[in-house]
A and B are shown apart, each in its own frame.
Chain A
Amino acid sequence: MKQSPRARIALTVVGWGVALIMFFPIAWMLLTAFKTEVEAVSSPPSIFFDATLENYAAVQERADYVRYAVNSVVISVGATLVAIAFAVPAGYAMAFFPTKRTRGTLLWMLSTKMLPPVGVLVPIYLLARDLSLLDTRVGLIMVYALMNLPIVVWMLYTFFKELPRDILEAARIDGAMVRDELRYLVLPLSLPGIASTALLSIILCWNEAFWSLNLTTSDAAPLTAFIASFSSPEGLFWAKLSAASTLAIAPILVFGWMSQRQLVRGMTFGAVK
């Protein structure tokens, strides 16, 4: 499309204006993380100040922050690995050996995502309590793996379907068994797809804040719960909260930027292309 110079300037101004407004709360948080607590609450707000790293040091020194961060990593990665372990065989079978039931099975799997978590809060809470899984990493890993399994199966299924058929056919003629085919051909070839699926699953687990707030209290609480614990106390803690928040969102923000396309694919189940 040809643009007049004036339209181009207007477009640039609006495009960047909107971007800066949307990003502003995050930028403000990043900035506050480098302020002292006094500057953080000053009015008028200080934009120029002597940057300090003491908030990060303070956050790192708190042993409990590290524990929450470790919980987040273990739970997100653990749940993702479990979901992928279940989903690879299922996605492979449905992509390469479709039957009459495949379509129905895929759609049914999606329908399990439509059950609102709040509708099953009570039974899941009670089951977790009775199985001693309340406030444990294993409990949250199970819930997250199940929560993301439909998305993971779906994405792996679409990646497997895009694999070049010729190579697989050749392997079959050479007498490759299902297990060999999966291990030496399908998995290596679809590694980029599996990686981006894993990335999306980790993002969703990391930011999940319904089950983590309801099923954990301290031992297994991830960063979402740690940050939520700052909601009540008033006082001089904004700068430290900002530093803790920055550390909590930075890795996921980078992952998110890397996996935009997969996000669209995974969250709309291919309904938008």
Chain B
Amino acid sequence: MTATTAAEPRAAERRHGGRRTVNTLPLVAPSVIVLLLWMLVPLGMTIWFSFQRYNLITPHLRGFVGFQNYEFLLTDPALWTAMLNTLILVGSVLAITVGFGTILATLYNAHFPGRSIARLLVIAPFFVMPTVSALIWKNMLMHPVNGLFAWITNSVLGVGRIDWFADLPLFSIIMIVSWQWLPFALLILLTAIQSLDQEQQEAAIIDGANPIQMFWYIILPHLGRAISVVVMIETIFFLTIFAEILVTTSGGPGLASTNLAYLIYIRALLDFDVGGASAGGVIAIILANIVAIFLIRAVAKNLDT
């Protein structure tokens, strides 16, 4: 479709030459200007603050301190704990959602009775607001005394009760976030599978490919692009996982479930340390940009204007 649709308007352009010199600037400019402000002003301020001593409790002691905030942050073990937690959180949830998402996408692409209803049920968690899902898991499933899991592990399995958020805080949060985002990976990957060439699949079956061979040699290579897109989009969202932590563990016990986003929140809104929080913000922005460059490239490849 690229060749024809791209050529048509240009042909029309020539036909109605005068009509085409429409000045599009006033139409596009408002969106560009507000987005430019939305991006540049806070970005500039974050970078500026990150070189300042600036605490909201002692605002009069404000001044330029060079890289002191970064030095302080980079030598603070809390940052490295938070970074490690961020990496574990992002990595684990990515592995779970993309791994199961791929398998489930293949499953829900196959025909079985009631498939469309089953699909609706599977994708439902993605539409539940993060604070609600965190509280369902915290209170009704993972509560150490009255939760459903406690009843299962204690009365059914007989292994006693597990205090999920005290003993396995990061693991518990990984479970909640995976539950929320598995539907997203599934939806994207299912869309990608549905665009797979039917004839190619049928040819493979005629040639005697079994379902596992089908998956490895036909479906998985086709999904490569979609998987990388899912990985990139999810990474950007997972760098800012916040509500799930705030509602369940508040980053604890200690720093056991504090990620970079939560650390910045603590520094900024609880310790009022604008400079230190901004230095953390700059680190988060750099991390996200490493991913974003690849994502933009993937999108650009598919963009025909």
Contacts and interface: CB of A to CB of B under 8 A. Distances in A.
B288 A116 contact: yes
B122 A115 contact: no
A253 B133 CA distance: 13
Interface stretch (A50-58, A59-67, A100-108, A190-198): A100-108
Nearest to B243: A209
Contacts of B192: 272-273
A3 B111 contact: yes
B282 interface: yes
B300 interface: yes
A203 B127 contact: yes
Nearest to B115: A15
A133 to B, nearest CB: 14
Interface string A87-104: 101101110111100110
Contact of B118 (A19, A32, A92, A110): A19
Interface string B262-293: 00110011000010011001101101110110
Given A41-B146, A114-B292, A178-B22, A22 B122 contact: yes
Contact of A93 (B24, B138, B191, B299): B24
Contacts of A124: 42
B120 interface: yes
Contact of B243 (A43, A121, A210, A270): A210
A165 interface: yes
Given A161-B5, A227-B131, A230-B135, A23 B260 contact: no
Which bracket fits the contact residues of B? Answer: 35 or more
A224 to B, nearest CB: 5
B112 A12 contact: yes
B219 interface: no
A97 B13 CA distance: 9
With a 10 A CB-CB cut-off, give which of A43, A116, A210, A255 has the most chain B CB atoms. A116
A43 B140 contact: no
Contacts, number: 326
Give chain A's interface residue range (CB within 8 Å of chain B): 35 or more
A25 B137 contact: yes
Contact of B16 (A20, A122, A173): A173
A96 B104 CA distance: 39
Contacts of A15: 107-108, 110, 112, 114-115, 118
Contacts of A90: 27-28, 30-32
Nearest to B107: A15
Contacts of B303: 103, 106-107, 270
Given A41-B146, A272-B192, A227 B132 contact: yes
B135 A231 contact: yes
B28 A89 contact: yes
Nearest to B30: A86
Contact of A115 (B43, B111, B118, B242): B43
B81 interface: no
B9 A22 contact: no
A16 to B, nearest CB: 5
Interface string B94-138: 000000000010011011111101111111111111111111111
B213 interface: no
Interface stretch (B33-41, B60-68, B71-79, B166-174): B33-41
Contacts of B130: 207, 209, 224
Contacts of B155: 43-44
B220 to A, nearest CB: 15
B250 to A, nearest CB: 8
A106 B111 CA distance: 38
Interface in A99-138: 99, 102-103, 105-107, 109-127
Interface of A: 1, 3, 8, 11-12, 14-16, 18-20, 22-23, 25-26, 28-29, 32, 41-45, 86-87, 89-90, 92-94, 96-99, 102-103, 105-107, 109-127, 146, 149-150, 153, 161, 165, 169, 172-173, 178, 203, 206-207, 209-210, 213-214, 223-225, 227-228, 230-231, 238, 241-242, 245, 248-249, 252-253, 255-257, 260-261, 263-264, 267-273
